[in-house]
């Protein structure tokens, strides 16, 4: 059998090869990717307004609500009365404790004079003094509980939740209402943790409030202090610059962080 003839290599016309499609050497491709931090865009993220001050006020003692004049949506001033409890029993206990304290004080005074005349032992004087102290402490305990008979607003705000009504019996510690201060709102937003080197304290931003269709400016005050290991995000805390008066907690919108940092 005749040996197979060796075929000459096929040469393509030079016009069919685009030099721009040729792959670079492997050595040249390694280590040439730009760093992620170079020209990294600070894309818009969602932010939400939340109050610096808010609280849920609860019943300081068990009993019947005598008066609950506020409703959801009411704006209340600081120290305004919100809830009044029926404290008739506590008032009677306080008067009883005051009478016992008066009697114990009188007994101690008499015993002290008798001791000066050597007509009573020092032990009797000490016992009457202790009885007077116990009666005073009992009266102070009842007076401290009676401070919960009237709940007042710890700060000016708006009532956003009410979980009880007048004449209702409630347990001690049961939530009664939710109070929010809308006059001083924070901006809360979650951003990728890889942005930490860019979104530093003092950096300015613009937030669009969707509910009002307006833009407000602000600055970054700091972070929550930790990175969420699951989502790899960190929460930014910011404050608004000259915010309008009609902002409410819970409003939200996109935040544009591509603003020049404050120098």
What are the pLDDT digits (tens) for 209-237?
Answer: 999 999 999 999 999 889 999 999 999 99
Q: What is the 3-state secondary structure (H, E, C) of 145-205?
A: HHHHHEEECCCCEEEEEECCCCCCEECCCCEEEEEECCCCEEEEEEEEHHHCCCCCCCCEE
How buried is residue 148: exposed, middle or buried, by Cβ count under 10 Å (0-12/13-18/19+)? middle
For 19, other C-beta atoms within 10 Å of its C-beta total 6
For 77, other C-beta atoms within 10 Å of its C-beta total 10
pLDDT classification of 115: cutoffs 50, 70, 90: confident
Mark 193-218 as b/e (b = at least 16 C-beta within 10 Å): eebeeebeeebbbbbbbeeeeeebeb
142-164 per-position pLDDT tens digit: 999 999 999 999 999 999 999 99
Using only C-alpha atoms, what is the Rg of the chain?
37
For 127, other C-beta atoms within 10 Å of its C-beta total 14
* Pairwise pLDDT comparison (1 vs 156), residue with the higher score: 156
Span 243-250, average pLDDT? 94
- How many residues comprise the chain? 263
């Amino acid at each position: 059998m005749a040996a197979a003839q060796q075929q000459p290599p096929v040469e393509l016309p030079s016009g069919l090869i685009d030099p721009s499609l040729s792959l670079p050497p492997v050595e040249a491709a390694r280590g040439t990717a730009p760093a992620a931090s170079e020209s990294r865009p600070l894309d818009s993220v969602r932010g939400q307004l939340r109050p610096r001050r808010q609280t849920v006020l609860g019943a300081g003692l068990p009993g019947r609500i005598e008066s609950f004049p506020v409703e959801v949506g009411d704006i209340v001033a600081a120290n305004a009365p919100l809830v009044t409890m029926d404290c008739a029993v506590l008032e009677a206990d306080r008067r009883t404790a005051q009478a016992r304290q008066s009697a114990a004080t009188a007994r101690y005074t008499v015993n002290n004079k008798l001791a000066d005349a050597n007509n009573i032992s020092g032990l009797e004087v000490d016992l009457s003094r202790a009885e007077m102290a116990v009666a005073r402490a009992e009266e102070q305990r009842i007076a401290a509980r009676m401070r919960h008979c009237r709940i007042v607003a710890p700060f000016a705000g708006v009532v956003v939740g009410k979980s009880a009504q007048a004449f209702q019996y409630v347990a001690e510690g049961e939530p009664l209402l939710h109070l929010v201060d809308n006059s001083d709102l924070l901006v809360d937003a979650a951003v990728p943790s890889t942005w930490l080197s860019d979104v530093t304290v003092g950096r300015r931003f613009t937030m669009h409030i969707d509910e009002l269709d307006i833009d407000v400016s602000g600055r970054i005050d700091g972070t929550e202090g930790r990175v969420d290991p699951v989502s790899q995000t960190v929460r930014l805390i910011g404050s608004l610059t000259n915010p309008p008066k009609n902002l409410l907690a819970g409003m939200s919108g996109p935040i544009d962080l591509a603003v020049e940092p404050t120098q």
